[in-house]
Structure 1
Amino acid sequence: MIKIIVKLLIIGIISISFIACEDKKIEEKEVKFTPSLPMPEWDDKADKEITKYWSNWNNAKKDPKAAIKIGYAYSEELKDYKKAIEWYKYSNSIKPLPETSNYACYAYQQLKEYNEAIKWCKNAIELGSSDAFFRLGKVYELNKNFDDAISFYKKSFNETKNDMAANNLGLIYSLELKDFNNAEKWFKNAIKEGSELSYKNFSIFYHDDLKDNIKASAYAIAVIDTKYSKSSVLRLLKDDWQIPNDIIQKGYELQLTSDEFPIKYKGNLNLE
Structure 2
Amino acid sequence: MIKGIIKVILLLLLTLTFSACEEKSSQESKTQEIVYIATLPIPESENLRKMGLISLWYDAKYDPIPATQIGYAYANKLQDYEKALQWFEYSNSMKPTADNSAYACSALQQLKQYEKALTWCNNAISLGSTQVFIVLASIYNEQENYQETEKWLLKAFDSKNKDAPISLGYLYANNLKDYVKAEQYYKEAIKIRDLEAFHNLSRLYHHNLHDDIKASAYAIALIGTKYSQRSVLKILQKERKIPNETIKKGYELQLTSDEFPIKFKGDLGL
Normalised TM-score (structure 2)? 0.81
Tell me the amino acid that sits aligned with residue 42 of structure 2: M
CA distance in structure 2 between the partners assigned to 1:189 and 1:210 by the alignment: 18
CA distance in structure 1 between the partners assigned to 2:228 and 2:101 by the alignment: 39
Deviation at 1:113, TM superposition (A): 2.1
Unpaired runs of 5+ residues, structure 2, are 1-30
Deviations 1:28-56 (A, max 9, x none): 97963211112222224x433x22x3342
Deviations 1:161-217 (A, max 9, x none): 223211111111111111111111111112223322211221221122112222122
Deviation at 1:248, TM superposition (A): 2.3
Q: What is the aligned partner in structure 1 of residue 77 from structure 2?
A: 77
Computing the radius of gyration from Cα coordinates, the structure with the larger value is 1
CA contact (8 A) 2:166 2:186 kept: yes
Q: Tell me, what secondary structure is at the counterpart of 1:47?
A: coil
* Alpha-carbon distance change, 47 to 141 in structure 1, aligned in 2, over 3 angstroms: same
Instruction: Summarize the alignment of residues 204-223 of structure 1 with structure 2, pairs less than 5 Å apart.
Output: 204-223=203-222
* Alpha-carbon distance change, 67 to 168 in structure 1, aligned in 2, over 3 angstroms: same
Q: Which moved more, 1:92-101 or 1:108-117?
A: 108-117
Question: Could you say which structure has the greater relative contact order, defined with CA pairs below 8 angstroms and 6 or more residues apart?
Answer: 2
CA distance in structure 1 between the partners assigned to 2:223 and 2:113 by the alignment: 38
Alignment: residue pair count: 240
Q: Tell me, what secondary structure is at the counterpart of 2:259?
A: coil
Instruction: Summarize the alignment of residues 133-148 of structure 1 with structure 2, pairs less than 5 Å apart.
Output: 133-148=133-148
Tell me the amino acid that sits aligned with residue 221 of structure 2: A
Q: What is the aligned partner in structure 1 of residue 20 from structure 2?
A: none
* Alpha-carbon distance change, 70 to 261 in structure 1, aligned in 2, over 3 angstroms: same
Q: Tell me, what secondary structure is at the counterpart of 2:44?
A: coil
Unpaired runs of 5+ residues, structure 1, are 1-27
Q: What is the aligned partner in structure 1 of residue 41 from structure 2?
A: 38
Q: What is the aligned partner in structure 2 of residue 118 from structure 1?
A: 118
Q: Tell me, what secondary structure is at the counterpart of 1:128?
A: coil
CA distance in structure 1 between the partners assigned to 2:247 and 2:49 by the alignment: 55
Deviation at 1:97, TM superposition (A): 1.1
* Alpha-carbon distance change, 82 to 184 in structure 1, aligned in 2, over 3 angstroms: same
* Alpha-carbon distance change, 244 to 163 in structure 1, aligned in 2, over 3 angstroms: farther
CA contact (8 A) 1:163 1:195 kept: no
* Alpha-carbon distance change, 183 to 60 in structure 1, aligned in 2, over 3 angstroms: same
1:106 aligns with 2:109: no
Quote the sequence identity (%).
49
